[in-house]
């Protein structure tokens, strides 16, 4: 029995090790792919390591600084996913450090390195740290003041104290400069695909929701729990809007001050106006689908008779036409945009026709569209709104393909 237990335990451990090795291999494989997040993570780690090493060599071996760690810390701190953010954060960081050191220097030289002085330094630095203009670097005011106080207190004379405080600022400037230089020179991040990926994820969620709703409505076979499930999924789709906007913002911020933007293959890709228009339309569509699913929850079981099923079938077919459009947006690819825009224009015509059929069927069936306690009016209104949004999206992409202003979509 003991032998079998031992063998089984060894087998489990072996399986666990194989699983870990498989996950590590999968991560490494994704890291070598051009547009995978793992590749960007690996590149950022490598660049940060190089910047830290160069900053440490400069501070320790060349300057013989007393506190050389300030340089590599600063180099890594301002290493961001975009050059624009690196510059913005480095300016805020330097401002925060200089302010913190200045506060300590002013009070230290006036009152000396005692406990009362430290309390005053802490209070003033923390108060200045509430300044919103410093952004994410606000806490560095107090951090710099505390390190400066420690350096000031350990020095033996005013001349040495002034030198050490000045050296802190110098090391921070050296670290930020090296970090910026590495980020700009060594494969500066140009995250065009971030906007595309965010839109794809949002459109994919809407596509799956519509693919579930359309057939159920065409068959007239959905219960209250189905509507609740759709409503929950529509809310999850809305949550992806924030993620998509973050990706779009990253893509927009990757362009300024980036030397790679002048390469021939990137020179025309300097605007994301059309991406933003597509995302705005998908965001509004997500909210309108949420309103639609709320209305379906109020559908009365006794109303699912034959006359209303004709309306349901028309509406399910209409949702199917939306699904076709969203499926194209879920695979948005700039290299295939001309073909995708033409396909979207054809699908938009089908969508318009299905929307008219929905309205005509509602009028033909004499549905109580003006009754706020019944879902029919909301469904017809949302059909019109969804049609307008997706038609606008198709028009925006077609305009870009035809060469109008706004490259990058």
> 86 near 136, Cβ under 8 Å?
no
For the chain, domain boundaries:
38-185, 192-401
pLDDT at 407: 36
Q: Give the torsion through C-alpha atoms of 278, 279, 281, 283, to 10 deg.
A: 160
Q: What is the pLDDT of residues 95-134, one digit of tens each?
A: 999 999 999 999 988 888 889 999 999 999 999 999 988 9
- Are 380 and 362 in contact by the 8 Å Cβ rule? The answer is yes
Q: Which DSSP state fits 10?
A: H
CA pair distance 173, 167, nearest whole angstrom: 10
**Neighbour-count burial of 43, counting CB atoms closer than 10 A to its CB (0-12 exposed, 13-18 middle, 19+ buried):** middle
Identify which of 81, 84, 85, 409 has the alpha carbon closest to the alpha carbon of residue 276: 409
pLDDT in tens, 7-54: 555 555 665 665 565 555 554 554 445 445 566 678 888 889 999 999
- Verdict on whether the full-model pTM lies above 0.75: no
Task: Show the DSSP H helices in 298-375 as ranges.
Answer: 306-329, 337-364
CATH number for region 192-401: 1.20.58.220
User: Which residues in the chain come in under a pLDDT of 50?
Assistant: 1, 3-6, 27, 30-32, 34-35, 264, 266-267, 270, 302, 304-306, 404-409
Mean pLDDT over each residue of the chain, to the nearest integer: 79
């Amino acid at each position: 029995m003991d032998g079998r237990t031992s063998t089984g335990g060894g087998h489990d451990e072996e399986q666990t090790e194989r699983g870990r090795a498989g996950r590590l291999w999968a991560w490494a494989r994704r890291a070598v792919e051009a547009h995978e997040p793992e590749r960007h993570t690996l590149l950022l780690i490598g660049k940060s390591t190089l910047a830290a090493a160069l900053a440490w060599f400069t501070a320790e071996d060349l300057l013989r600084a007393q506190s050389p760690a300030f340089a590599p810390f600063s180099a890594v701190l301002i290493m961001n996913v975009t050059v624009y953010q690196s510059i913005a954060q480095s300016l805020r960081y330097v401002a925060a450090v200089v302010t913190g050191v200045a506060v300590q220097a002013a009070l230290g030289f006036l009152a000396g390195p005692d406990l009362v002085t430290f309390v005053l330094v802490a209070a003033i630095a923390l108060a200045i740290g509430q300044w919103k203009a410093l952004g994410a670097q606000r806490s560095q005011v107090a951090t710099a003041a505390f390190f400066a106080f420690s350096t000031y207190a350990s020095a033996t004379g005013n001349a040495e104290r002034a030198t050490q405080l000045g050296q802190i600022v110098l090391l921070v400037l050296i670290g930020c400069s090296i970090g910026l230089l590495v980020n700009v020179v060594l494969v500066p991040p140009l995250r065009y695909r971030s906007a595309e990926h965010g839109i794809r994820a949002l459109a994919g969620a809407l596509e799956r929701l519509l693919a579930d709703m359309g057939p159920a409505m065409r068959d007239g076979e959905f219960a209250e729990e189905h509507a609740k499930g759709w409503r929950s999924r529509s809310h999850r789709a809305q949550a992806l809007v924030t993620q998509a906007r973050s990706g779009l913002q990253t893509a927009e911020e990757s362009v300024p001050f980036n030397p790679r933007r002048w390469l021939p293959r990137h020179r025309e890709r300097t605007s994301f106006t059309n991406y933003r228009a597509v995302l705005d339309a998908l965001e509004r569509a997500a909210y309108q689908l949420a309103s639609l699913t709320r209305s379906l929850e109020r559908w009365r079981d006794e109303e699912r008779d034959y006359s209303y099923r004709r309306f349901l079938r028309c509406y399910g077919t209409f949702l199917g036409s939306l699904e076709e459009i969203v499926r194209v947006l879920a695979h948005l690819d700039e290299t295939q945009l001309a073909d995708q825009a033409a396909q979207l224009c054809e699908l938009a015509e089908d969508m318009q026709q299905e929307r008219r059929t929905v309205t005509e069927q509602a009028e033909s069936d004499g549905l109580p569209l003006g009754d706020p306690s019944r879902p029919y009016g909301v469904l017809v209104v949302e059909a019109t709104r969804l049609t307008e949004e997706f038609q606008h999206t198709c028009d925006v992409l077609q305009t870009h393909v035809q060469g109008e202003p706004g490259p990058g979509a």
